[in-house]
Amino acid sequence: MLLASAVVVWEWLNEHGRWRPYSPAVSHHIEAVVRAGPRAGGSVVLGQVDSRLAPYIIDLQSMNQFRQDTGTLRPVRRNYYDPSSAPGKGVVWEWENDNGSWTPYDMEVGITIQHAYEKQHPWIDLTSIGFSYVIDFNTMGQINRQTQRQRRVRRRLDLIYPMVTGTLPKAQSWPVSPGPATSPPTPPCTCPQCVLVMSVKAAVVNGSTGPLQPSVTRKNMAPPGVVKLPPPPGPGAKSLYSTDAIQVPRKTAPSQMIRRQASSMPSGTTAGSPASPPGPNGKTGRVALATLNRTNLQRLAITQSRVLIASGVPTVPVKNLNGSSPVNPALAGITGILMSAAGLPVCLTRPPKLVLHPPPVSKSEIKSIPGVSNTSRKTTKKQAKKGKTPEEVLKKYLQKVRHPPDEDCTICMERLTAPSGYKGPQPTVKPDLVGKLSRCGHIYHIHCLVAMYNNGNKDGSLQCPTCKTIYGVKTGTQPPGKMEYHLIPHSLPGHPDCKTIRIIYSIPPGIQGPEHPNPGKSFSARGFPRHCYLPDSEKGRKVLKLLLVAWDRRLIFAIGTSSTTGESDTVIWNEVHHKTEFGSNLTGHGYPDANYLDNVLAELAAQGISEDSTAQEKD
């Protein structure tokens, strides 16, 4: 638990592994429900505060955002930022996308831009935080360092994000009690980071019997107040720490205690540590890194790093370990301890490398996949079936209800005993007719179901808006392209006993059809061909066969707005996640990932694709 003041920003995780902030108004709404506790019901309807988010509900028990019309789940989190940063001042930085609307930057990016703006810098280079852009404050433009393309940016004022003062919980679970700092102490956390920190604190307070190598000269002796830690663990040893002296700061400002993402901290920056308890002499000590020689610093850093790695703590790269940076590996290790004290999961390590592709493979090494016919498949635009009106299509899935119950139609929100409240283009069906879906049993105005069908893909299928049960065969709007698949003689991390299935998607740019968002307008296709990977295991082949069905039904891709770049009218993934990293998992789209195959099977099932679908395709 941390005692501090902070602004709370609620964020959701997009398909590219980036946390995107909700607006201040939405964050205030979510925070109000959180503070209301379990009596509020445990869920947040986002459409109550922003009509554009009408399909979305947040389940606070599982910390997931649920989209009602597609069944998509995305993680959410409650993050804390310094009150003096951009969200604490109501400052929002945005960039202009291709359709002329404005998209907010990720919160950490916006904070970085605002900091440079307040320092009156003429520009800020975002390369250091992973973006190849320069923001020019004179022209208020964003410049792509690689393509030199420019976009407008703007700084606007909005509501200040909700503020909390007192005890900040490290766990982002529900219900959250924003109680005051004087609330009764809670049991100590048992996570590896906290165990490590509390052990260090205990050693600082109580001392130990493992001295440093004695020295004859006084200048090598530790100054008063510095407690010596026991030697590194050997066989049968109980201690986890190296033979070094360390002191803890006697006080840290609350603003330094804000829990931020560890990756946002500059290399070599020490996070604040809670005030240390008094030592045996009644005084609190201070970190005196200058009193530790380089050898002892390095030994402490290495041992601390090994402890964290062995404990399974997520690693955050500390760069320039051997470069010209004034921060050497030893100081970075100390930083790790202090950041852990602030609740940040850090571990000293070298920056891992992104491995997108396997080693080169010759044509003779590429093999077909046993049990899967052919090695490629093309799709073209499929025409909707002619001769059936929406009423004729829905008739197959509905049973008329002569005496409807006195409850709401969840499409128009009018009572089922009253006529439909749908106000759009009027179907030919009478507005007072009511029908029940045959499989799931949910009841709606037939008028509303026809209107919903007309607003969709009109492919002969229907999806229940309440439980997502699919009637018929659901198809999508994927543009024409090619899907190739074959075996390569390399193994994926986490799957050492099998080869790898490589999938290559190729979709060219073109013109949008009548089923797309902007018929007649051109669309782009960035990043093709896209290479994806599956293990050549029994379950991996099962996933491949279902992906082939999804491809034939045009459900892998769609045309829309990229959540990564903000570009509109471009080819995007369509809610079926793929692994595009071969030998790493830095972006969350690689291996090892023990749950991936099960997760993608669930995503395919949400699109109406299961093992039964392969038999339907053969028929």
pLDDT at 506: 96
Average pLDDT over residues 144-149: 80
Average pLDDT over residues 573-586: 90
pLDDT at 21: 94
pLDDT at 185: 44
Residue 412's CATH number:
3.30.40.10
Q: What is residue 24's three-state secondary structure?
A: helix
End position of a domain, from candidates 143, 164, 185: 164
Asked if 509 and 611 sit in the same domain, the reply is yes
Helices and strands, counts by H and E, the chain? 11, 28
Q: Which two tokens stand for residue 314?
A: 């997520």
**Higher-confidence position of 488 and 422:** 488
Residue 381's pLDDT band (cuts 50, 70, 90):
low
Max distance between CA atoms of the chain, in angstroms, equals 100
pLDDT at 332: 52
Q: What is the pTM of this model?
A: 0.47
Mean pLDDT taken over the chain: 74
pLDDT at 603: 93
pLDDT tens sequence across 210-224: 333 333 333 344 343
Q: Considering only 145-159, 276-290, 518-532, 545-559, which range has the smallest mean pLDDT?
A: 276-290
Q: Which of 11-20, 48-57, 601-610 has the highest mean pLDDT?
A: 601-610
Residue 204 maps to a domain: no
pLDDT at 614: 66
Residue 522 maps to a domain: yes
Backbone phi, psi, residue 28, to 5°? -60, -40
Residue 44's pLDDT band (cuts 50, 70, 90):
confident
SS percent in the chain: helix, strand, coil, step 5: 25, 20, 55
Asked if 106 and 50 sit in the same domain, the reply is yes
Where in the sequence is the domain holding 156, given as residue range(s)?
4-164
Q: What is the DSSP string of 218-264?
A: GGGSPPTTPEEPPPPP-TT----S-S-EE---S---GGGG----GGG
pLDDT at 567: 86
Asked if 21 and 76 sit in the same domain, the reply is yes
Backbone phi, psi, residue 332, to 5°? -65, -35
Report how far residue 112's alpha carbon sits from residue 380's, in angstroms, rounded to the nearest whole number: 45
Asked if 579 and 450 sit in the same domain, the reply is no
Asked if 411 and 454 sit in the same domain, the reply is yes
Average pLDDT over residues 438-455: 90
Asked if 495 and 563 sit in the same domain, the reply is yes
pLDDT tens sequence across 498-532: 999 999 999 999 999 988 989 999 999 998 999 99
pLDDT at 36: 81
End position of a domain, from candidates 449, 471, 493: 471
Asked if 465 and 528 sit in the same domain, the reply is no
Is residue 26 over pLDDT 80? yes
Asked if 396 and 485 sit in the same domain, the reply is no
Residue 554's CATH number:
3.30.390.130
Q: How many domains does the chain have?
A: 3
Asked if 26 and 120 sit in the same domain, the reply is yes
Residue 312 maps to a domain: no
Q: Considering only 206-220, 345-359, 381-395, which range has the smallest mean pLDDT?
A: 206-220
pLDDT at 597: 95
Asked if 414 and 513 sit in the same domain, the reply is no
End position of a domain, from candidates 413, 447, 471: 471
pLDDT at 366: 94
Give 240's contacts (C-beta < 8 A, 6+ positions apart): 196, 199, 233, 303, 307
Residue 300 maps to a domain: no
Q: Which two tokens stand for residue 232?
A: 């590194």
Q: Which two tokens stand for residue 230?
A: 């026991």
Residue 58 maps to a domain: yes
Asked if 499 and 606 sit in the same domain, the reply is yes
Residue 114's CATH number:
3.30.720.50
pLDDT tens sequence across 95-146: 998 778 899 999 999 999 999 999 999 999 998 888 889 999 999 999 988 7
pLDDT at 364: 93
Residue 581 maps to a domain: yes
pLDDT at 59: 84
pLDDT at 615: 62
Give 438's contacts (C-beta < 8 A, 6+ positions apart): 397, 398, 399, 471
Average pLDDT over residues 398-418: 90
**Higher-confidence position of 305 and 81:** 81
**Higher-confidence position of 1 and 21:** 21
Residue 95 maps to a domain: yes
Average pLDDT over residues 559-565: 83
Residue 242 maps to a domain: no
Asked if 429 and 505 sit in the same domain, the reply is no
